[in-house]
């Protein structure tokens, strides 16, 4: 970043009042872990691709899905939001949620950002793999960059019914009512088939990856670009973990993308979440050890479906600190989390809000955070941790205007 411009993937972007991308993120953009040979995210990607190639074939026995894994993560706000019918006042548009290059470009917050463009090229079945970016909390399963797989499948008229060997005079469109189970233009017969195919496809994928014993459950969800919508959760360490969102694509989206005569489903799943569960990787930062043979050698298999149980090479100690300060107007937790990552880097394992306190006399709010430091490749000394913690405190008061409480 210099002179109000950002250089990214060979292009220059003018910064403006909405720019909030931070320097420590830039070297990671375009690394594409999902395309790196022997990286766990690549093994998972290959398994997902193989599953769709095997289970969706045309009459000539060729796979119907095409795969896109190298689309630039820099997208327009239109691609990320408007093309997906995200309302102008939707929370996901807030600057505290995403990384903006300027008021026109951002780092994609989901691979759904490419749905509309790919449909417009005439495709009716595709998978997109890519790195996505979100400002979020800091813990073992959240990191500002993660990876998603997107899937879209469209059908034209009778294709849907003949595929299921259903004969009779069924239609996919009607001029009906919108309700909990369908959109106004969709017939309930068409939606039933799509919902069944979508859910059984994704559930079978979970069984294929994790074995028949994995516990799964569907929960109703909301996305602006699908209706109805669902999330699939899988049981992980005794807790339900949300791994994907999906639904019947909004007809308005398809019409705007030049495919108003088709009907279809879409899903988006988080690769790290699945890979952590699949390979027993305890912390999301581990995925960035792609230069570390202690990590990568454990995934060096020929067949991507080989079962692998990751063993932590060694576990270095945690250093746990507290930080509390008085808040300023307009303070956002995500601004603080971002700053912590920017100053502390990957040595920060977790940040937790432990106290949210209002002082009635001073009429001021204060927050206390617990920050856990741990280096993944060596033991972090107390002195080193002290320095980082102090730097974070200083940066917080300088950049966020908060007032430290000692
Ligand atoms: N893009 C959504 C997310 O990131 C997931 C999704 C994709 C939901 C496609 C529905 C259809 O949460």
Model confidence band, residue 24 (pLDDT cutoffs 50, 70, 90): confident
Is the CB of residue 265 below 6 angstroms from any atom belonging to ligand 1?
no
360 CA to centre of ligand 1 in angstroms: 42
150 CA to centre of ligand 1 in angstroms: 8
Residue nearest to atom 4 of ligand 1 (CA): 110
b (16+ CB within 10 A) / e for 81-116? bebbbbeeeeeebebebbbbbbeebbbbbbbbbbbb
Q: Which helix (H) or strand (E) holds 359?
A: strand 348-359
Tell me how far apart the alpha carbons of residues 6 and 125 are, in angstroms, rounded to a whole number.
35
Tell me how far apart the alpha carbons of residues 39 and 304 are, in angstroms, rounded to a whole number.
10
User: What three-state secondary structure class fits 22?
Assistant: coil
Residue nearest to atom 9 of ligand 1 (CA): 267
Q: Give me the CATH code for the 5-286 domain, please.
A: 3.30.930.10
Is the CB of residue 79 below 6 angstroms from any atom belonging to ligand 1?
no
Span 140-188, pLDDT tens digits: 889 999 999 999 999 998 899 988 888 888 999 999 999 999 999 999 9
What atom in ligand 1 is closest to the CA of residue 270?
A: 4
222 CA to centre of ligand 1 in angstroms: 9
Span 269-292, pLDDT tens digits: 999 999 999 999 999 999 999 988
Distance of CA 62 to the CA centre of its chain: 30
CA atoms in the 13 A half-sphere facing the CB of 27:
4
What atom in ligand 1 is closest to the CA of residue 111?
A: 1
Model confidence band, residue 293 (pLDDT cutoffs 50, 70, 90): confident
- The confidence score (pLDDT) of residue 46 equals 98
224 CA to centre of ligand 1 in angstroms: 9
What atom in ligand 1 is closest to the CA of residue 110?
A: 4
Nearest to 99 by CA among 34, 145, 150: 145
Domain boundaries, the chain: 5-286, 319-404
End-to-end CA distance of the chain: 34
Is the CB of residue 151 below 6 angstroms from any atom belonging to ligand 1?
no
Q: Are 366 and 331 in contact (CB under 8 A)?
A: no
| Topology alike, domains 5-286 and 319-404 | no
User: Which letter does DSSP use for residue 318 in this model?
Assistant: P
Q: What is the DSSP string of 210-233?
A: H-TT--EEEEEEEETTEEEEEEEE
In DSSP terms, 151 is beta-bridged to 127, 267
Is the CB of residue 245 below 6 angstroms from any atom belonging to ligand 1?
yes
268 CA to centre of ligand 1 in angstroms: 4
- The confidence score (pLDDT) of residue 313 equals 67
What ipTM was reported for this prediction?
0.99
Is the CB of residue 226 below 6 angstroms from any atom belonging to ligand 1?
yes
**Does residue 234 carry a pLDDT above 60?**
yes
What are the phi and psi torsion angles at 68 (to 5°)? Answer: -120, 120
Nearest to 249 by CA among 148, 79, 129, 116: 116
- The structure tokens listed for 306 are 């080989």
Q: What is the DSSP string of 70-129?
A: ---SEEEHHHHTGGGT--TT-GGGSTTTS-BSSSSEEE-SSGGGGHHHHHHTT-SEEEEE
Superfamily of domain covering 319-404: Ferrodoxin-fold anticodon-binding domain (3.30.70.380)
Is the CB of residue 268 below 6 angstroms from any atom belonging to ligand 1?
yes
Task: Give the mutation target among 97, 199, 228, 245 for probing the ligand 1 site: most ligand atoms within 8 A of CB.
Answer: 245
């Amino acid at each position: 970043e210099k002179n109000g411009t950002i250089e990214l993937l060979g292009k220059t972007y003018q910064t403006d009042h909405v720019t909030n991308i931070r320097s420590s993120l830039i070297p990671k953009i375009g690394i594409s872990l999902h395309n790196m040979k022997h990286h766990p995210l690549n093994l998972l990607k290959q398994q997902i691709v193989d599953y769709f190639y095997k289970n969706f074939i045309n009459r000539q026995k060729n796979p119907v899905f095409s795969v896109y894994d190298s689309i630039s993560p820099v997208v327009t706000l239109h691609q990320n939001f408007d093309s997906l019918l995200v309302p102008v006042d939707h929370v996901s548009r807030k600057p505290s949620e995403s990384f903006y290059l300027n008021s026109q470009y951002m780092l994609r917050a989901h691979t759904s950002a490419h749905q509309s463009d790919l449909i417009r090229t005439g495709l009716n079945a595709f998978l997109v793999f890519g790195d996505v970016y979100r400002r979020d909390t800091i813990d073992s399963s959240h990191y500002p960059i993660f990876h998603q797989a997107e899937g879209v499948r469209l059908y034209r008229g009778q294709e849907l019914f003949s595929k299921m060997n259903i004969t009779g005079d069924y239609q996919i469109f009607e001029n009906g009512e919108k309700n909990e189970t369908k959109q106004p233009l969709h017939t309930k017969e068409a939606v039933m088939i799509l919902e069944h195919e979508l859910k059984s496809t994704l559930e079978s994928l979970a069984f294929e990856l994790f074995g028949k014993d994995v516990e799964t459950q569907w929960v109703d969800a909301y996305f602006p670009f699908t209706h109805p919508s669902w999330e699939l959760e899988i049981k992980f360490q005794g807790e339900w973990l949300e791994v994907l969102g999906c639904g019947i694509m909004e007809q308005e989206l398809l019409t705007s993308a030049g495919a108003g005569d088709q009907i279809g489903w879409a899903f988006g799943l988080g690769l790290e979440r699945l890979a952590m569960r699949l390979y027993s990787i305890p912390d999301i930062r581990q995925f960035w050890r792609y230069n570390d043979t202690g990590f990568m050698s454990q995934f060096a298999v020929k067949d991507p479906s080989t079962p692998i149980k990751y063993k932590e090479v060694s576990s270095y100690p945690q250093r746990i600190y507290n930080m509390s300060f008085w808040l300023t107007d307009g303070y956002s937790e995500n601004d603080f989390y971002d700053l912590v990552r920017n100053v502390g880097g990957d040595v920060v394992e977790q940040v937790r809000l432990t106290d949210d306190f209002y002082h009635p006399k001073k009429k001021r709010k204060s927050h206390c955070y617990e920050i856990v430091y741990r280096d993944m490749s060596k033991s972090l000394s107390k002195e080193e941790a002290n320095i980082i913690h102090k730097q974070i405190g200083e940066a917080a008061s300088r950049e966020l205007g908060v007032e430290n409480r000692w």
